[in-house]
Amino acid sequence: MFWVLLMAGDGVGVLLMRPDAGRYPEVAACGGDLMAALRAAAGRMGVRLVGLGEAYPPEGLSRHFVAALEAECGDVHVGLRPERREVGVTLRLPLVGVAAVAAVWSLEVAIEVAQAWQAGVPLADMAARWEFLIVSPKALAHDQGRGAAYEWESVRRLPDRLVDHTLVEAAFRSPQLSSLFPMVSHGSLQFRRLTVSAPGSDVPSVLPLGEGRWRVICLWDQDIPVRRPALLRKPSGWWWKDSQKGAVLRSK
């Protein structure tokens, strides 16, 4: 890596770190800027980069080391390692996080992976095509429409100290609840229609009261459309009810 001294309008010097020209000659040829180098590489490939923009760099590095590409199914982050030649690619799914990561040698390969992600190619197909992709099992499940099932498996494996498994198993046996995304927080069992949403949704949260009792609360948010849930009764005796103040959940 090397430093370039730029003079601001007030005469104050600003140091900007750029990728090493020996490790990244194609980037150095574009003024040491990764975004410009990606555009040049795409031109050589005969493709057009869509949604290319700046990204937040890791601490200690400048923006010239990173770039991002927007996609409907999630963004792509491309970054250069300063200590060795390595082009990092990170795929992200909305509301899930990192879907896959890879370390490649060339900008061209990074562009191929990014464009496949932008085109909506299934994550499993991308992993089969590029074996160097390290895929998140959670992201793969969500990408394949198995997100709720994956989250339930994770919650059911939690230690007893984090959640009451009697409650978890009873909720899991309810089709209405097991179709939602579960989340455990401070001993409570919460439900979401999406992987991540605000607490003020139209589905319940269950808090332990002790002695085999739980309180069910629905915190309403004016910014979230209201879907009034019906009273649910199951043969097991578990139920939850629409109630801003809360209702007590019991097991027979």
My answer on whether 84 and 157 are in the same domain is no
My answer on whether 118 and 196 are in the same domain is no
Structural domain count of the chain: 2
Could you tell me if 167 and 208 are in contact, meaning their C-beta atoms sit under 8 angstroms apart? yes
Give residue 91's pLDDT.
96
Give residue 8's pLDDT.
44
My answer on whether 93 and 10 are in the same domain is yes
Give residue 193's pLDDT.
79
Could you tell me if 34 and 27 are in contact, meaning their C-beta atoms sit under 8 angstroms apart? yes
My answer on whether 139 and 164 are in the same domain is no
My answer on whether 115 and 152 are in the same domain is no
My answer on whether 64 and 136 are in the same domain is yes
Give residue 201's pLDDT.
56
My answer on whether 152 and 240 are in the same domain is yes
Give residue 238's pLDDT.
29
My answer on whether 71 and 196 are in the same domain is no
Rg, Å, the chain Cα set: 24
Helix and strand numbers (H, E) in the chain are 8, 15
Note down the domain range covering 49: 2-143
CA distance 83 to 63: 16
Give residue 227's pLDDT.
40
My answer on whether 157 and 183 are in the same domain is yes
Q: What is the model's pTM?
A: 0.73
CA distance 92 to 47: 22
Give residue 251's pLDDT.
34
- For the chain, list residues with pLDDT below 70: 1-16, 196-202, 219-252
Give residue 156's pLDDT.
96
Domain end among 143, 160, 179: 143
Could you tell me if 72 and 50 are in contact, meaning their C-beta atoms sit under 8 angstroms apart? no
My answer on whether 178 and 229 are in the same domain is yes
My answer on whether 170 and 129 are in the same domain is no
Nearest to 163 by CA among 181, 189, 182, 192: 189
